[in-house]
């Protein structure tokens, strides 16, 4: 075979491979028979037998209901309330609802069971094994109709989740319901900056934040010159004058007759008007 024909064939095959590879990355529709749930419903009938109905219950027309946390009234909590009702005369034994792993569960009513380690299953139903993006919360109520609620720390928005309801050894049902989700995209970084002062107002700084978390302190003076020094806080004296190691700070502190200010970074970052700093 002439060399020109060989080259032409190889080029044609290469083009075909590239086109096939590009086609394999085209976004496909959901496979036939696999439904896509864009939003968690406020009511669902369990399957496959249709034994139970689970209803998300708004409080004062809000779902979830936002109110001060009982553990800290200065913080907001989000309450997700539900009703489970028997439709075919079978009482519930266990109800398990899955909660997103980024949601901190403050309390439940009635009391519930939650695995100690993310990825461990519920100890009774074995639901949730090896799942690290969500965790099971189990309620043990033998009743034809009952309410349960979850109290989540901070703001929260509903997203689709799964609720499992069992009765005896043979009836194990499930359905999709609106559950505790995440308020916004945690991967969308929101940066901000704020002007501040340290060392009793003697050193200007700019504070950098990402998603409302302090990540950097930038002195606005020439570091190393007279009256402008930086360092990290490793030890601090207690009320008895004993020096103890410091791993983190709860808040910004100023000490040394207004010569030093340290911010709660890791490790704590300080600006000082004199050496050593701090």
| Residue 75 confidence (pLDDT) | 83
How many domains does the structure of the chain reveal?
A: 2
Nearest-angstrom CA–CA distance, 203 and 13: 67
For 143-173, the pLDDT digits (tens) are 999 999 999 988 888 888 999 999 998 999 9
Q: Do 167 and 210 belong together in one domain? A: no
| Residue 102 confidence (pLDDT) | 87
Q: Do 113 and 141 belong together in one domain? A: yes
> Using CA atoms in the order 232, 238, 243, 247, what is the torsion angle rounded to 10 degrees?
-40
Separation in Å, CA 274 to CA 148, 198, 232: 59, 13, 14
| Residue 184 confidence (pLDDT) | 46
Bond from prior residue into 64 cis (ω within 30 degrees of 0): yes
Nearest-angstrom CA–CA distance, 246 and 255: 15
Q: Do 146 and 223 belong together in one domain? A: no
For 198-229, the pLDDT digits (tens) are 999 999 999 988 667 788 899 999 999 999 99
- Show which of 158, 180, 202 is a domain's final residue: 180
Q: Do 173 and 53 belong together in one domain? A: yes
| Residue 12 confidence (pLDDT) | 44
Bond from prior residue into 267 cis (ω within 30 degrees of 0): yes
Nearest-angstrom CA–CA distance, 209 and 220: 17
Does a structural domain hold residue 30? Answer: no
Nearest-angstrom CA–CA distance, 195 and 72: 29
Q: Do 174 and 59 belong together in one domain? A: yes
| Residue 270 confidence (pLDDT) | 96
Nearest-angstrom CA–CA distance, 109 and 94: 14
| Residue 267 confidence (pLDDT) | 86
- Show which of 180, 214, 249 is a domain's final residue: 180
Structural domain for 206, as ranges: 191-272
H-type alpha helices, the chain:
3-24
| Residue 211 confidence (pLDDT) | 60
Burial of 98 (0-12, 13-18, 19+ CB in 10 A): buried
Does a structural domain hold residue 113? Answer: yes
Q: Do 140 and 112 belong together in one domain? A: yes
Separation in Å, CA 143 to CA 137, 165, 170, 245: 18, 12, 17, 55
Q: Do 169 and 219 belong together in one domain? A: no
Block means of pLDDT (10 residues each) for the chain, 278 residues, are 42 42 44 58 93 94 88 86 96 95 92 92 93 93 95 88 94 93 53 88 90 84 96 87 84 93 92 95
Does a structural domain hold residue 237? Answer: yes
- Any idea what the CATH number is for the domain that residue 126 is in? 2.60.40.290
- Show which of 124, 158, 180 is a domain's final residue: 180
Q: Count CB-CB contacts under 10 A for residue 177.
A: 23
């Amino acid at each position: 075979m002439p060399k020109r024909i060989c080259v032409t064939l190889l080029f044609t095959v290469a083009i075909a491979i590239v086109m096939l590879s590009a086609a394999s990355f085209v976004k496909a529709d959901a496979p036939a028979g696999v439904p896509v749930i864009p939003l968690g419903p406020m009511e669902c009938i369990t399957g496959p037998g249709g034994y139970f109905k689970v209803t998300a219950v708004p409080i004062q027309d809000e779902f979830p209901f936002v109110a001060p946390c009982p553990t800290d009234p200065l913080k907001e909590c989000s309450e997700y309330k539900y009703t489970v009702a028997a439709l075919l005369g079978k009482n519930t034994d266990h109800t398990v609802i899955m909660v997103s792993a980024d949601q901190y569960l403050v309390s439940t009513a009635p009391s519930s069971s939650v695995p100690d380690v993310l990825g461990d299953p519920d100890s009774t139903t074995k639901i949730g094994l090896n799942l690290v993006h969500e965790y099971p919360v189990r309620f043990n109520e033998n009743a034809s109709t009952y309410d349960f609620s979850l109290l989540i720390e901070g703001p929260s928005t509903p997203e689709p989740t799964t609720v499992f309801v069992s009765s005896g050894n043979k009836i194990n049902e499930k359905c999709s319901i609106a559950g505790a989700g995440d308020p916004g995209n945690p991967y969308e970084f929101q940066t901000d900056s704020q002007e501040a002062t340290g060392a009793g107002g003697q050193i200007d700084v700019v504070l950098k934040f990402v998603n409302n978390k302090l990540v950097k302190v930038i002195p606005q003076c020439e570091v190393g010159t007279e009256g402008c020094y930086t360092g990290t806080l490793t030890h601090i004296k207690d009320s008895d004058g004993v020096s103890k190691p410091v791993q983190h700070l709860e808040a910004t502190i100023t000490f040394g007759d207004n010569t030093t200010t340290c911010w709660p970074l890791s490790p704590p970052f300080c600006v000082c008007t004199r050496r050593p700093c701090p």
